[in-house]
Structure 1
Amino acid sequence: MALTKEAVLAQANAASKNTLMETLEIEIIDFGDNFLTARMPVNSRVYQPDGVLHGGATAALAESVGSFASHIFTNIEEKFVRGIEITANHLKSVTEGYVYAKATFLHKGRTTQLLDIRITDEQDNLVSICRLSTISLPRKK
């Protein structure tokens, strides 16, 4: 019997316990055949000293959602996923609410993956555009 979408999301979020994703309160909220979406609250935990969303927190959100997308579309019994490069262009400041990261595959190869990650605010304004390269490597037997 296949798991429901809600069950998969619950398992994914449970896997974030005791990780940076839990520290930043990143929650996976949706996925489909070619994407994964997560959200992160914007509060003092992720501020720069002047009270706006820190670009490093945005990059951590992007890498988390992109790596997780590669992870769930990989046979994890045979392979493990690692991020190998991330770029981030920050376009808009955010001071409160949530930001949403949607990772979409540009390339889904057997060994390397390339994801486009768009970070938006609650009004769907573009906050950052990120690209993440991941690699799937064989587990040692």
Structure 2
Amino acid sequence: MTTLRPAITLDFLRNRQRGRLPELLGVELISLESGTLTGGLPIRPELLAPNGFLHAASVIGLADTCCGYACIAHLPEGAKNFTTVELKSNHVGTAREGRIIAKATAVHLGRSTQVWDALVTNDDGKTVALFRCTQMILY
């Protein structure tokens, strides 16, 4: 099983997102542990759909970022990077204010692929989305 890379810290990941989509969205990294990474996204008007509810792309942006950063932190020895080859999300709730939290959890940490799940919740702890992605490991 792949273990957490000690050199990949929250500060390393925060620096990595500068000038990129996660920074534009406002993704905030909360915690990184073996097999998991948690991040948050403060809700602001720009992240809402025209109907006034949180846009699905905002939710996916947070979940995919958390899973991707978790993948980087758990790359197998000799791996250089990854790319997403599949993702799926089920949206079962929403939010209009506050923030949403995504907790990415490892499902499979292989040498050629990784599978990550993210549970996205609102401030009340209610589920907003269930997310799963498969990452291809690059050498």
Q: Is TM (by shorter chain) over 0.5? A: yes
Within 2, Cα distance between the matches of 1:61 and 1:15?
15
Within 2, Cα distance between the matches of 1:106 and 1:17?
28
Corresponding letter in the other structure for 2:117: D
2:102 aligns with: 101
Q: List structure 1 segments (4+ residues) > 6 angstroms apart after TM superposition.
A: none
1:31 aligns with: 32
Within 2, Cα distance between the matches of 1:96 and 1:78?
39
Q: Larger relative CO (CA 8 A, sep 6+): 1 or 2?
A: 2
Q: How much has 1:77 moved relative to structure 2?
A: 6.4
Structure 1 residues 40 and 76: alpha-carbon distance in aligned structure 2, compared to 1, 3 A threshold: farther
1:22 aligns with: 23
Q: Could you list the per-position Cα deviations for residues 15-71 of structure 1 after superposition, in whole angstroms to 9, with x for gaps in the alignment?
A: 110000000000111011110000011111210012111001111111111111001
Of 9-18 and 122-131, the range deviating more from structure 2: 9-18
Structure 2: tracts of 5 or more residues without a match: 1-5
Contact kept in structure 2, 1:63 and 1:83, CA below 8 Å = no
Q: How much has 1:11 moved relative to structure 2?
A: 2.2
Q: Secondary structure at the match of 2:125?
A: coil
Report % sequence identity: 27
Q: How much has 1:76 moved relative to structure 2?
A: 8.1
- Cα root mean square deviation, aligned: 1.7
Structure 1: tracts of 5 or more residues without a match: none
Of 25-34 and 74-83, the range deviating more from structure 2: 74-83
1:1-141 matched pairs, under 5 angstroms: 8-74=9-75, 78-138=79-139
Within 1, Cα distance between the matches of 2:96 and 2:104?
22
Q: How much has 1:9 moved relative to structure 2?
A: 1.6
